[in-house]
A = this chain, B = another copy of it.
Amino acid sequence: MATPAVMPSFSDSDRAELAQEADALIQRLRRHGRGEDGSVTRLVYTAAWQGAMAEIEDWFRSAGLPVRSDAVGSRFGRLSGDSPEVVLSGSHIDSVVRGGAYDGVLGVVIAGCAVHWLDATFGRPKRTIEVLANCEEESSRFSCNFWGGRAMTGRILEGESDRLTDPEGVSIGSAMRACGLDPERIPEAERADLVAFVEPHIEQGPVLATAGDVIGVVDQVVGVRGLSISLQGAAGHAGTIPMARRRDALTGAAEVVLGAERIAKEQGAPAVATVGHLTVEPGGFNQVPGSADFTIDFRHPNEAALDRFEDSLLRMLEKVASGRELEARTRPLIGQPGIRFDDHVCACLETACQEAGVAWRRMPSHAGHDAQLLGSICPAAMLFVPSQGGHSHRPDEYTEVVHIGYGIEVLARTLFRLAYQD
């Protein structure tokens, strides 16, 4: 493929105006699901979600992009090209419980602004471009594991719409029907027309902000494994059991917590390991803990490195358990392989960064994203903008307006290559 030419124009004032438009829209959208503490809780198929989707639809239309919904309620703002092949860009609309205003939705807004500008500047593209407002990514109401992305990639199983229920016992199928969507039609959401997907997203971590970089070209999503571990010892009186005779499940768990941290640090970045959940029984302040239950989440781009981590972890666990006469049981909690994104889409993003003159870096994503699924059916990659303080999934999630502007420019330059030139 020929090296793409530089896109003719994107001025400082274009960038500033688009960034202002994007930021204003983000502030309007945060009303949908806003909590008293400024948090956003916008769960799929709720009134807050419907309000946000309606506002997105209005905005797509006002930008001259006709809108359609797929069978699961994801919205697509369409800029038709000479070819029906679709270059897709965007992200998700739903949030976690008590999350912020940027995760997911900023990607929709950046894509919408970029496509609006391309349309206004260059008119009809060679390939069709669609802006994606994906219905569901966070699994925060149903354990639905990328509902929107699975619909587009044909991975929702028969019967899932009845089986998956929210904490109130409402099935995802009946929640769909309450939004005017027919679960019987889910298979129609599968896409065969995609030729590229680019997902803009907040980084959710501190790497860009710390390095002073403005754009992350995400060339892979790391794999995730999770284990649930139970250590059984012997409960007893905190006074009467001498130290030498204890089978304290919590001191064992503490060794494993620190051991998992040590293994991750020895493997070195980008390996991470986290014990996020831990409970102790019986739990009285004057009782030696008889059992400790906890989880370990570990991530690495490389499957072989995940295997090595798991081996080291299990060996360490066995050593701790036998040294303290504890019984250890493990069961798998999650096992999500990573994905390496498309070289050409990554190269387009890099060239766009160079043309825009921004500080950028290649980086992996350590969180799961829609692009992980869509990347299995078409060439894909992601573009990160900085998260202030590295925060996400919290009310104080924030991305500076100037960074939003560069995100729009880099995406516009990338989509220009993918839809107007390639």
Contacts and interface: CB of A to CB of B under 8 A. Distances in A.
Interface of A: 203-207, 210, 222, 224, 226, 228, 235-245, 248, 250-251, 253-255, 257-258, 261, 264-265, 269-280, 282-289, 295, 297, 299, 333-334, 365-368, 390-394
Given A254-B257, A366-B240, A276 B284 contact: yes
Contacts of A239: 204-205, 222, 224, 272, 297, 299, 365-368
Contacts of A279: 279
B244 A393 contact: no
A206 B242 contact: yes
B278 A286 contact: no
B277 A280 contact: yes
Contacts of A288: 274, 276
A285 B242 CA distance: 33
B287 A272 contact: no
B241 A251 contact: no
B280 A285 contact: no
Given A206-B245, A258-B251, A280-B276, A240 B285 contact: no
Number of copies: 2
A297 B265 CA distance: 32
Given A277-B280, A278-B278, A297 B236 contact: no
A165 B210 CA distance: 54
Contact of A366 (B204, B224, B237, B390): B237
Contact of A297 (B222, B251, B285, B367): B285
Given A224-B239, A226-B286, A274-B285, 13 more contacts: A205-B241, A206-B242, A224-B286, A239-B297, A240-B392, A243-B271, A250-B276, A251-B258, A251-B275, A274-B288, A276-B285, A277-B284, A285-B295
A127 B255 CA distance: 57
Contacts of A245: 206, 210, 390
B237 A367 contact: yes
* Most chain B beta-carbon neighbours within 10 Å: one of A274, A279, A286: A274
Given A261-B251, A297-B285, A274 B238 contact: yes
A299 B210 CA distance: 46
B272 A206 contact: no
Nearest to A288: B274
Nearest to A203: B240
A205 B288 CA distance: 12
A271 B224 CA distance: 43
10 contacts: A206-B245, A224-B286, A239-B299, A240-B392, A241-B390, A243-B261, A250-B278, A276-B280, A277-B284, A278-B280
A255 B222 CA distance: 29
A277 B299 CA distance: 29
Contact of A275 (B222, B236, B250, B365): B250
A267 to B, nearest CB: 9
A391 B236 CA distance: 7
Nearest to A245: B206
